[in-house]
């Protein structure tokens, strides 16, 4: 697997998606960001096996929330091995435990400050690149 080339950014909050895209630009990471506002929209975008990509998936969304989307992705033969980072504004222990049981690559509380967004995006892409290089 080569370096990460695509980030599927799934969140109903347009402002948060904009911040993540700005953080990707600020970090200088050469990736394409594809946006969806809920899990159902993501599945409309994903038509076949996806390689060299990660999914950043919000927990709380209408139509198909992040936990439902995560379960469906993990059950899929096409997308089950994608690195999936589940994010939430909540730092609830119970939510984190429920989320982790569903198999994300990592559960992350959404950053508050822009420089934290940049650091998080760098960390996620770098960790996935390291895994892919093995």
Q: Over its length of 134 residues, how does the chain's per-residue pLDDT go in tens digits?
A: 456 788 999 999 999 899 889 888 888 888 899 999 999 999 999 977 677 888 999 999 999 999 999 999 999 888 888 889 999 888 788 878 888 888 898 888 888 888 887 888 888 777 665 444 44
Q: What pLDDT shows up at residue 121?
A: 80
Residue 73 maps to which CATH number? 3.40.50.2300
Is 59 within a domain?
Answer: yes
Structure tokens belonging to residue 11: 């969140």
Q: What pLDDT shows up at residue 125?
A: 75
Is 1 within a domain?
Answer: no
Is 26 within a domain?
Answer: yes
117/76 Cα distance (integer angstroms): 29
Is 72 within a domain?
Answer: yes
Q: What pLDDT shows up at residue 129?
A: 56
Q: What pLDDT shows up at residue 50?
A: 76
109/37 Cα distance (integer angstroms): 18
At 84 the three-state DSSP class reads: strand
Q: How many independent structural domains does the chain possess?
A: 1
Q: Which of 10, 26, 55, 35 is nearest to 115 (CA)?
A: 26
Is 32 within a domain?
Answer: yes
Q: Is 47 within 8 Å of 95 (Cβ atoms)?
A: no
pTM of the complete model: 0.86
Q: What pLDDT shows up at residue 89?
A: 86
Structure tokens belonging to residue 1: 């697997």
Please give the residue range of the domain that contains residue 96. 6-133
């Amino acid at each position: 697997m080569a370096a990460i080339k695509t980030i599927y950014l799934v969140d109903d909050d347009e402002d948060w998606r904009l911040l993540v895209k700005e953080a990707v630009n600020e970090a200088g990471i050469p990736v394409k960001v594809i946006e969806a506002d809920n899990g159902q929209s993501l599945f409309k975008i994903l038509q076949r096996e996806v390689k060299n990509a990660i999914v950043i998936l919000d927990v709380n969304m209408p139509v198909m929330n992040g936990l439902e989307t995560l379960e469906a992705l993990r059950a899929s033969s096409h997308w089950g091995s994608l690195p999936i980072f589940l994010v939430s504004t909540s730092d609830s222990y119970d939510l984190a435990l429920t989320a982790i049981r569903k198999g994300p690559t990592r559960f992350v509380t959404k950053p508050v400050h822009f420089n934290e967004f940049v650091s998080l995006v760098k960390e996620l892409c770098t960790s996935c690149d390291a895994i892919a290089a093995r």
